[in-house]
Amino acid sequence: MTFFSFSFPLERLDSAQILFSKNCGVCHPNGKNLIIPEKNLRKQSLEANGMNSKFAIIYQVRNGKNGMPAFGDRLDQKDLETISEYILFQSQFHFENQ
């Protein structure tokens, strides 16, 4: 499976980081996964688990699965898209180095 390079508008990075931290950071600090460590947010893990697209991440965040709760009632579509874009961007750079 190919992982496409993903860019993220710099002017949205701070707000996306805050949104991620408030909603995802408890279980995924620095892209880790404190519940199921092998299902972290690093590029290689996202690829291996079929989570390397905006659609897959949005679906997972909205509906939850296994140890992950559903956030569909707490986040609107714009927030879901922002979080998914942030995860894809960080998985290429920041999360890989943690």
pLDDT in tens, 1-29: 444 455 667 778 889 999 999 999 999 99
Is residue 86 one of the residues assigned to a domain? yes
> Which residues have CB under 8 Å from 23's CB, separation 6+?
71, 74, 75, 79, 83
pTM of the model: 0.87
Looking at residue 96, its pLDDT comes to 67
Looking at residue 20, its pLDDT comes to 96
CB atoms within 10 A of CB 87: 24
Please give the span between the terminal C-alpha atoms of the chain, in angstroms, as a whole number. Answer: 23
Range of the domain at 75: 17-97
Looking at residue 91, its pLDDT comes to 93
Task: Kindly report the CATH number assigned to the domain that includes residue 34.
Answer: 1.10.760.10
Is residue 51 one of the residues assigned to a domain? yes
pLDDT < 50 stretches in the chain: 1-4
Is residue 11 one of the residues assigned to a domain? no
**Number of separate domains in the chain:** 1
Looking at residue 98, its pLDDT comes to 55
Is residue 8 one of the residues assigned to a domain? no
Partnered with residue 65 across adjacent β-strands are 68
